Amino acid sequence: MLKKLIYRNSSLYFRDRTSVFFSLLSVLIVIALYILFLAKMQVDSVNQQTNGMLKGDDLSYLINSWILAGLLSITTVTSTLGALGTMVNDRANRIVMDFKSSPLSAMTYPISCVITSFAVGAIISVISFVVYGAYIYFGTGYLFGIGMILKCLGLICLSAMMNAAFMGFLVSFFSTNSAYSSASLIIGTVIGFINGLYVPMGALPETIQSVLKCLPFGHVASLFRRVLMQESIDLCFKNAPVSVRESYTHDFGVVLDWNGNEISSYISITFILIVSLVSLVLFFINFRRKKQEI
């Protein structure tokens, strides 16, 4: 029965073109901002730090890999959130009461929602990765290696899992489609700031940086950047002083630090796993608490 519910939820999501569109809206916004502002901002910053040494495909590879990392960190949020719209619609139309009064286990329905959200987030993110990766290849001639691709796929699964649990807990409080739509719009708008994509981390005040580092989303973005930008950073800063490389990686959120100490990838992954587990437990608790809700 769990498989049937997952299939049902997935079919309802992909059948609703509006949900799919809004899941990808943040990606379209990022691409538009990249064309209008972000690319030039990166070019000016890197040229200033390297005295204009970088040009052409190398610089384009660096900037596009940074954009791709940010896109994936956003897509795993918006797509998992979009897939949870089915749960809100079921509650708003009292369909969820049919599931709760059926012989199904109390946890079967919420588990199916989380798994569906994870699957949708992973699928949409992989598609985004393939499409933008192809764009980078045809635009610069650089192709991601097998090891880098496998690491990125692992991060996509990790991020989709965390966001499915976290967004599931958040969405479990909504009983109407209007409340859910409003929350989706707000989250889709601000996630780019939280991930340090619209405004680089180094350009924000220290207090705001500290707050963002307490959220898992910035850690996800940092992990994607560490993987996808490793080759381009080595290539672009091979002849630059170490201080220039470190300044770039900190300013653009490739590396996060706390009180001057670098936050390692292992710490970020552990933090994300803890957030996933806690969010999942809270989601199930809140769903059971609302089981008498009409």
User: pLDDT tens for residues 141-165?
Assistant: 889 999 999 999 999 999 999 999 9
Domain assignment present for residue 225? The answer is yes
* Exposed / middle / buried, residue 179 (Cβ in 10 Å: 0-12, 13-18, 19+): middle
Within-domain flag for 207 = yes
Residue with tokens 């049937």: 4
What pLDDT score does 242 carry? Answer: 84
Angstrom distances, CA of residue 82 to CA of 38, 78, 121, 268: 26, 6, 9, 25
The pLDDT score that the predictor gives to residue 153 is 96
Helix (H, G, I), strand (E, B), or coil: what is residue 156? helix
pTM: 0.89
Residues of the chain with confidence (pLDDT) below 50: 294
DSSP state of 141: S
Tell whether 29 is covered by a domain.
no
Assess if residue 89 is contained within a domain: yes
Nearest in space to 160 (alpha carbons), one of 211, 198, 217, 215: 217
158 in a structural domain: yes
Instruction: Return the CA Rg of the chain.
Output: 20
Q: Residue 261's beta-bridge partner residues?
A: 258
pLDDT at 216: 93
Indicate the number of domains in the chain.
1
- Tell me which residue range forms the domain holding 128: 2-20+53-289
pLDDT at 294: 44
User: Dihedrals φ, ψ of 98, to 5°?
Assistant: -65, -40
For residue 46, being part of any structural domain is answered with no
- Overall residue count recorded for the chain in this entry: 294
Residue in the structure block whose two tokens are 């569906």:
116
pLDDT at 12: 80
**Percentages (nearest 5) of helix, strand, coil residues in the chain:** 80, 0, 20
Asked whether residue 248 is assigned to any structural domain, the reply reads yes
Whether residue 177 lies inside any domain: the answer is yes
